[in-house]
Structure 1
Amino acid sequence: MTNPQKTSRREFLTALTAAGIATAGLVPAGAAMAADARFTIKGDDFLLDGQPFHIMAGEMHYPRIPRELWRDRLKKLKSLGLNTLCTYMFWNAHEKRPGQYDFTGNLDIVAWIRMAQEEELWVLLRPGPYVCGEWDSGGYPAWFLNDPTIKPRSLDPRYMGPSGEWLKRLGQEIAHLEIDKGGPILMTQVENEYGSYGNDLTYMRAVKDQVRAAGFAGALYTVDGAAVIENGAIPELFNGINFGTYDKAEKEFARYGQFKKSGPRMCTELWGGWFDHFGEMHSSMPIPPLIESLKWMLDQKISLSFYMVHGGTSFGFDAGANFDKNTRTYQPDISSYDYDAMLDEAGRPTPKFEAAKTLFQNYLPADRFAPLPEPEKAIEIKRFRLTESASLSQLLGKPASAAAPKTLEQLGQPHGLVLYRHKAATALSGQLSFGDVRDYAQVSVGGVPVGTLDRRYHETALEIAAQKGAAIDVLVDTMGRINYGDQIGKDQKGLVGAVKLGDKTLSGWDHYSLTLEDLSGLTFGKTHIDGPAFYRGTFEITEAGYTFLDMRGWGKGYVWVNGHNLGRHWSVGPQHALFVPAPWLKVGTNEVIVLDLHEGAERTLSGGKNQIWDRPGLVEV
């Protein structure tokens, strides 16, 4: 994908379409719907119970919103005048390890869809298996693509078998929530913007068959960019198109009309904002061109869906990554998925929300606009010191040994860090090089740091000198797996390929897996620790509310508040605060733990009412 700061907006969005970036939408299947179906297509209209139905949807993702806040966000969607929720299903969130499914708590998708129904919202379902969405590996579990020779999004049986099983398991959970079975699901999407990735309609129809076999009997649809719709759209289904703020809706639908002459039209993803990569400029997009596209579509009675109406947060390890195919540069996504959306990361209506609502009020009856819920309170937390520390080495368990370094996937590790250790059999001196480092490595020899390697800069080698018997340690921190384009399924993590000193291969490596899923084994003390360490402190609050932890002054790592992993922090920006939802805080004493891979003298935090961005501004035209 291209850098939005070095290209025009139009070229940028066109490049995204060509690269296959996350943008999908909503809408139904045409030819094979049952005669008595409640949701159908007739002529140029969607029909709901026999009456023309104009889909006005907004996308939100359940894992990016604490469950306690789901209803608040759904009510706000409704308050904008929208009538439909669009939502991905995330395979890797539900099946982190083979055969171990989780549909509880924040992953209770039945509760998510039922709650939408309770709020009188219809649902457009996007089950993947590939979803993109700036989500780790586009939704594919790490264990599934442990072999780079597997060809995702193809008829490769090593792909189709597990992906079909996932859809079948998903169908057992939610297929009964389709509209003709009493639920709110109007349509279910087949794949996701496949036309930006490939052009095998035999594969697309095979995925469609898997969706049907999973029990989804209602309307099906596909989504693509208009420029590549012939590559991915199944013509006998409804086909939506996706485009962004700076694309002229009239032009996009004129291109769509070359593919499909009749039937309803829909912008299945209207990108009113954009996402951010670590180390780049914070993205925002202006309001006027978005409103212009909206007005034109409303005048034409074209259905639409905002991507995103509320982005939320990619907590923990869930953020994905992009890959610039021109420069072969890895671009990890930040944890905030604010997306410059209608509702900000904390769920607050933005000026973009108000502008769209003002427009919609000219087209919709007053009763379409539900009242906004009472706003949550933003709280400030006075700066406090994290006075205790614990070495990362406390979490080192029994190592796995192998001649050559293994990836996380080969180790059966879904995410986190791995410490690779080689004991020098003889004195060594020269250039230590790796096939690839994914994604950030700290190298030390005999306990002494010698340098870091950052994948974003294609760094794979440094100079070392080691005495006989010294440990060569390579601590690798993994960032998001690539979630779009031709690198999907090829982004296995850790050290990849042979490790060499000069032209000699170093054989014999111990692997210490650090999943960071359980910190209960840490023992904290007051002593100073050199190198990567956990820091612990407490703070008091006297009233409920949310806050943003100010991470300025820290290096790189992760943050937990009361056991909840808030995501990644990294001084390279553009994000310098981590969102702490109100339900994760408690009146009284709260605990925060920060893992920082970098040493630093000042270990303090504070909480503020807003996200902290550096270098804010609009994506260049």
Structure 2
Amino acid sequence: MKKHFFVLFLFFLFIANSGAQSKHTFSITGGNFVLDGNPIQIHSGEMHYSRIPQPYWRHRLKMMKAMGLNAVATYVFWNYHEIAPGVWDFKTGNKNLAEYIKIAQEEGLFVILRPGPYVCAEWEFGGYPWFLQNVPNMVIRGHNEAYLAATKSYFTALYNQVKNLQITKGGPIIMVQGENEFGSYVAQRKDIPLAEHKKYSAAVFQQLKDLGFEVPFFTSDGSWLFEGGALPGALPTANGEGDIAKLKKVVEQFNNGQGPYMVAEFYPGWLDHWAEPFPTQKPEQTVRQTKKYLDNGVSFNYYMIHGGTNFGFTTGANYNKEHDIQPDMTSYDYDAPISEAGWATPKYNALRELLKTNETPAVPAKIAVITIPDIALTKAVDLADLKSGISSVIEDNPLTFEQLNQGNGYVWYSKKFTQPISGKLELKGLRDYAIVYVNGIKVAELNRYYKKYDCEIDIPFNATLDIVVENMGRINYGPQINENNKGIISPVIINGETITGDWEMYKLPMTDVPNLAKHKSSAKTNRPTLYQGSFNLAKTGDTFLDMRDWGKGIVFVNGINIGRYWSVGPQQTLYLPGCWLKKGKNDIVIFEQKNEVVQQKVKTIITPILEDLKPEKGQ
């Protein structure tokens, strides 16, 4: 352990003046990570700029530094920055990646950059822009001209933001990852020859090198997946590998018989889905494994050190045989050492005791937490009223979100019948959640998670069938990543008959907060409803919206979509950062899809509820 503290002391000594933009050298030499000629170990934590409000970046980075870490790792989310084809945003709010990297350097942390192009990360579409699916001949994660042209465009835009932030230019970036967990994809897509997979991964890796990245490259895969994921010229690192002997053996096998040895994803917690138990890991388990790494000279990166929040429509989803989709929750707490709201947990304190040195700074003060008196909701508008002001798209068959040129949110599908029909409504191509109405009366909820794709229906003369469909996040992991269209993607069938002709579709992306100024209250139970209210504050601070009395929907506060809620849990609260509140008047808009009870108010509490499962009725 004395050797560990000496190495860490050297590392902190070298970065003490990093804010002055002094140049360093960093390399992988002789089986070691080498900083300015001295072997060092990397003690890093993963933290994503897009999951933390920009005003809180520095606080969270200070929390990392105070735990005894010397580096921060972050994915770069392609779809977070290419907001429309060829339209890039690296400057607005949370999108200012360069600022995040600079703040990390000012706080004495080096940066490990993970640009993908695929990132997984429980993020919408694994980081890919949804509109790539509209590009002819595009095959995601494949060696094809359309895809490689898109990755080159992305890497070029990214490089222009970070090229001068490499350690060789006086910045804090010490390593860049090539692709991401590609070995897993190779194992899942055995229908594609290994040589073809390798051709692809080599091509995107070459794009990164050709742009001018000068720092060392690495790959990260499960230790049993290096054959598919390792790249010549990049250090292989083993995600989640706790067996030191196995780690060293596999790294040496794919790295010329030597180290350095690193676990690029060391899991102190785990991801969570709606309708499933919240996974946890005891602090002593994380501490015990950390000590093993320290004692054996293994570098590591906690994934996640601080998860943060999937604000807006940024959540992704997994897929398995039991559930056609496992949508990720708004909270990305991850049971990480630093909680979703930036608090030091018992796990954090235990790890700090293990990692801190005499140079480790004090833990920064906790951001203030406030309660807000019950917020009165003064307007409740049926979603149909908002729809009435939108022009529809009319086609013989329902169109997908992508065909409608819409990425996220909701689409209202409507069909008028001049003749009666009854029987089983089948919606096998539902992506992902729908409420069905006949003449405005709720008939059923259909749900891809529960594999509920049909219901009995009775449509009389001159009636209207409405199906309001929600995209709950595109799959971010596995071979289904190339099957990510949303909305209704197959024929609508009633009593064995395919229903065609004059389907009207209303686009409700809710990218921006809905404007209810021209609408009067019109809400009824069991109808999709938009609620509006306001509240005044004498002081600001973090808080949590208590959504236990609500069904399913999203919340906007001061125009910002703070995420989804769903009564199934286990998440029953929404984190509301105080930096997005203001003294004086604040506005709130809630879109409630189910509206089983007309709501009068919304409450806040000072602690999150992340472990309260309440399964849907009948499931």
**TM-score (structure 2 length as normaliser):** 0.89
Instruction: Name the stretch that deviates more: 190-199 or 309-318.
Output: 190-199
- Of 606, 609, 615, 1:609 maps to 606
Q: Does the aligned pair in 2 maintain the 1:549–1:608 contact within 8 Å? A: yes
Q: Distance in 1 between matches of 2:65 and 2:442?
A: 54
2:546 paired residue number: 550
2:358 paired residue number: 366
Pair 149,292 (structure 1): closer, same or farther in 2 beyond 3 Å:
farther
Q: Does the aligned pair in 1 maintain the 2:544–2:573 contact within 8 Å? A: yes
Matched, 1:216 2:224: no
Pair 319,278 (structure 1): closer, same or farther in 2 beyond 3 Å:
same
Amino acid of the structure 2 residue aligned with 1:477: E
Q: Does the aligned pair in 1 maintain the 2:184–2:221 contact within 8 Å? A: yes
> What's the offset of the Cα at 1:289?
2.1
Matched, 1:383 2:374: yes
Residues 469-525 of structure 1, C-alpha deviations (whole Å, 9 max, x = no match) = 321111001101110011112121100111122222111211100011233532354
Matched, 1:352 2:343: no
Q: What aligned pairs does 1:178-193 form with structure 2 within 5 A after superposition?
A: 178-193=166-181
Q: Does the aligned pair in 1 maintain the 2:523–2:529 contact within 8 Å? A: no
> What's the offset of the Cα at 1:596?
0.4
Q: Percent identity?
A: 40
> What's the offset of the Cα at 1:264?
0.5
Q: What aligned pairs does 1:66-465 form with structure 2 within 5 A after superposition?
A: 66-104=53-91, 105-146=93-134, 150-198=138-186, 199=194, 200-243=197-240, 247-260=242-255, 261-324=257-320, 326-361=321-356, 365-367=357-359, 369-396=360-387, 397-465=390-458
Q: Distance in 2 between matches of 1:398 and 1:607?
A: 37
Q: What aligned pairs does 1:444-593 form with structure 2 within 5 A after superposition?
A: 444-508=437-501, 509-523=503-517, 524-530=519-525, 531-593=527-589
Q: Helix, strand or coil for the counterpart of 1:373?
A: coil
1:15 paired residue number: none
- Of 39, 43, 46, 1:56 maps to 43
Q: Helix, strand or coil for the counterpart of 1:589?
A: strand
> What's the offset of the Cα at 1:384?
3.3
Q: Does the aligned pair in 2 maintain the 1:96–1:142 contact within 8 Å? A: no
Q: Distance in 1 between matches of 2:252 and 2:38?
A: 24
Q: Helix, strand or coil for the counterpart of 1:450?
A: strand
Pair 316,182 (structure 1): closer, same or farther in 2 beyond 3 Å:
same
Q: Distance in 2 between matches of 1:511 and 1:404?
A: 10
Instruction: Name the stretch that deviates more: 297-306 or 467-476.
Output: 467-476
Q: Does the aligned pair in 2 maintain the 1:195–1:231 contact within 8 Å? A: yes
Q: Helix, strand or coil for the counterpart of 2:84?
A: coil
Q: Distance in 1 between matches of 2:290 and 2:219?
A: 21
Q: Distance in 1 between matches of 2:277 and 2:371?
A: 26
Q: Does the aligned pair in 2 maintain the 1:178–1:184 contact within 8 Å? A: yes
> What's the offset of the Cα at 1:236?
2.6
Q: Distance in 2 between matches of 1:65 and 1:253?
A: 35
Q: Does the aligned pair in 2 maintain the 1:405–1:511 contact within 8 Å? A: yes
Q: Does the aligned pair in 2 maintain the 1:392–1:533 contact within 8 Å? A: yes
Q: Distance in 1 between matches of 2:102 and 2:134?
A: 35
Amino acid of the structure 1 residue aligned with 2:362: P
Unpaired stretches in structure 1, ≥5 consecutive residues: 1-35, 617-621
Q: Does the aligned pair in 1 maintain the 2:425–2:457 contact within 8 Å? A: yes
Instruction: Name the stretch that deviates more: 113-122 or 147-156.
Output: 147-156
Larger RCO, structure (CA 8 Å, separation 6 or more): 1
Q: Helix, strand or coil for the counterpart of 1:314?
A: coil
Q: Distance in 1 between matches of 2:210 and 2:246?
A: 37
Amino acid of the structure 1 residue aligned with 2:181: E
Q: Distance in 2 between matches of 1:613 and 1:342?
A: 15
> What's the offset of the Cα at 1:228?
0.8
Amino acid of the structure 2 residue aligned with 1:86: A
Pair 215,256 (structure 1): closer, same or farther in 2 beyond 3 Å:
closer
Q: Does the aligned pair in 2 maintain the 1:169–1:214 contact within 8 Å? A: no
Q: Helix, strand or coil for the counterpart of 1:394?
A: helix
Pair 243,529 (structure 1): closer, same or farther in 2 beyond 3 Å:
same
Unpaired stretches in structure 2, ≥5 consecutive residues: 1-22, 187-193, 614-619
2:5 paired residue number: none
Q: Does the aligned pair in 2 maintain the 1:276–1:334 contact within 8 Å? A: yes
Residues 138-162 of structure 1, C-alpha deviations (whole Å, 9 max, x = no match) = 0011101247974311102232221
Amino acid of the structure 2 residue aligned with 1:96: I
Pair 197,71 (structure 1): closer, same or farther in 2 beyond 3 Å:
same
Pair 426,211 (structure 1): closer, same or farther in 2 beyond 3 Å:
same
> What's the offset of the Cα at 1:452?
1.0
Residues 549-591 of structure 1, C-alpha deviations (whole Å, 9 max, x = no match) = 1001100000011111110010000000000001011123322
Q: Helix, strand or coil for the counterpart of 1:538?
A: strand
Q: Helix, strand or coil for the counterpart of 1:176?
A: helix
> What's the offset of the Cα at 1:257?
4.2
Q: Distance in 1 between matches of 2:535 and 2:585?
A: 6
Q: Distance in 1 between matches of 2:544 and 2:515?
A: 27
Residues 129-184 of structure 1, C-alpha deviations (whole Å, 9 max, x = no match) = 10000000100111012479743111022322212211111112212211112211
Q: Does the aligned pair in 2 maintain the 1:554–1:603 contact within 8 Å? A: no
Q: Distance in 1 between matches of 2:514 and 2:430?
A: 29
Instruction: Name the stretch that deviates more: 566-575 or 293-302.
Output: 293-302
Q: Helix, strand or coil for the counterpart of 2:83?
A: coil
2:7 paired residue number: none
> What's the offset of the Cα at 1:394?
3.2
Instruction: Name the stretch that deviates more: 408-417 or 286-295.
Output: 286-295
Aligned residues: 574
